[in-house]
Amino acid sequence: MKILESAVLRRPRVRRPLIRGVLALCAAAMMFSMSLSIPAHSPSSHEAHSLSAAAADLFVNSAAGDYHLKDGSPAEDRGETLAAVPFDKEGKPRPVGNASDIGAYEHGTPVPPDTTPPAAIADLEITNVTITSVTLNWTSPGDNGTEGTARSYELRRSNADITVANWKSATKVAGAPVPLPAGKRQGCNVSGLLPDNIYYFAIRATDGHNNTAPISNVAWNRTLRLVPDRRKAPWRGPFSTSRPRCTPSTCPGKRP
């Protein structure tokens, strides 16, 4: 800027006020730009994963160099849980509890990972059948065997018996409900089926850690068939789901 200004001073006097005005605008623009890029510090500008606390409230014994968090430390579960930082300084898996702690050490005892799947459903049954739908009912398993609450169901159907070997080739059925707590009776209606067809159904639950139960027992039944409307002769339809009404010729002596 000094080089620029010395060069300006060699110009005729008549232009000096204009040049100085331009320099002042440039300086103001630079100051404005700096004020935007450097935020002012204030106690309220702390981000969500930082805090202010006395060392005695945070650590076991900071005076002796022990920076493990003490019980009830405000830094517990206040850190950002990062997949790229799965362990603390001592190799303990983190997070323990609801989130990672602030600092080098994770406080608390790690909970063993959930490797227990929901129990297999053993009482799947068809409780109602129509021409194009069935109603299924079963007892909800749990997150761990028959305890807790599973996360989701996978319901499948097929026109052939369902086994472990052909489970994945069976058709997925949408609309399975969210699992209830273990031991509760629940069900769902499956529509869009074809009349007079045998359908097989099986179901399995998955917990919140993607542990999947074995497939259930298989429930099967035949959907109802359509009954032709015999009033039309020769019969080509339409279909009727009710019995044909009597006529004087088919039911003599009875009122139509």
Residues 6+ apart with CB under 8 A from 148: 142, 181, 182, 207
* Helices H / strands E in the chain, number of each: 3, 11
Q: Nearest approach, Cβ of 50 to Ca ion (angstroms)? A: 16
Task: Provide the binding-site residues for Ca ion, judged by CB under 5 A.
Answer: 77, 95-97, 101, 114, 116, 143-144, 207, 211
Closest CA to 155 of 139, 134, 170: 170
Record the tokens describing residue 226, joined without a space: 């359509």
Check the CA dihedral 95-96-98-103 and report its sign.
Answer: negative
Q: Nearest approach, Cβ of 130 to Ca ion (angstroms)? A: 36
Q: Are 186 and 127 in contact (CB under 8 A)?
A: no
Q: Please say which residue, 149 or 158, places its beta carbon nearer to Ca ion.
A: 149
CA distance 96 to 115: 17
Q: Nearest approach, Cβ of 78 to Ca ion (angstroms)? A: 8
Closest CA to 162 of 170, 172, 154, 171: 170
Q: Nearest approach, Cβ of 47 to Ca ion (angstroms)? A: 18
Q: Nearest approach, Cβ of 202 to Ca ion (angstroms)? A: 20
With the CA atoms of 4, 6, 7 and 13 taken in that order, what torsion angle do they form, in degrees rounded to the nearest 10?
Answer: 120
Q: Please say which residue, 96 or 124, places its beta carbon nearer to Ca ion.
A: 96
Q: Please say which residue, 208 or 248, places its beta carbon nearer to Ca ion.
A: 208
How distant, in Å, are the alpha carbons of 62, 141, 142, 143, 149 from that of 184?
Answer: 52, 8, 10, 13, 10
Record the tokens describing residue 76, joined without a space: 């517990």
Q: Nearest approach, Cβ of 153 to Ca ion (angstroms)? A: 15
Q: Please say which residue, 114 or 154, places its beta carbon nearer to Ca ion.
A: 114
Q: Please say which residue, 101 or 141, places its beta carbon nearer to Ca ion.
A: 101
Q: Please say which residue, 106 or 134, places its beta carbon nearer to Ca ion.
A: 106
